[in-house]
Amino acid sequence: MKAIKALLVIAFALMITTAPSVSVLGQTARSKMPKTDTAIKRVYTCPMDPDVVSNKPGKCPKCGMDLVEKKMPAKKKESAKKD
């Protein structure tokens, strides 16, 4: 009987210590935090008025055309070997 109580106490202690780091769905608390450094920032601009820039799609306030996603140039990684 004492062995069963001891096992229950140990099992309960393990559940209490691991519960804050694991959610019901099995994801850790850190995985739910937003990933700001890897988030892609989208920029929308007007094809006729490139000076009009927005962070969401919509209409150009100058001409009324739809704003389109601006193609950002791909970042080139510098190679370790330079000539």
61, part of any domain:
yes
* Confidence at residue 23, expressed as pLDDT on a 0 to 100 scale: 54
65, part of any domain:
yes
pLDDT score of 16 more than 60: yes
CA atoms within 13 A on the CB side of 70: 19
40, part of any domain:
yes
* Confidence at residue 35, expressed as pLDDT on a 0 to 100 scale: 56
74, part of any domain:
no
> For 18-64, what is each residue's pLDDT tens digit?
665 555 555 555 555 555 555 678 899 999 998 999 999 999 999 99
76, part of any domain:
no
Cα–Cα distance, 70 to 83 (Å, whole number): 33
77, part of any domain:
no
* Residue 33: domain span: 2-69
Record the pTM. 0.42
Per 3-state DSSP, the chain is made up of helix, strand and coil in percentages (nearest 5) of 30, 10, 60
For the chain, the domain total comes to 1
78, part of any domain:
no
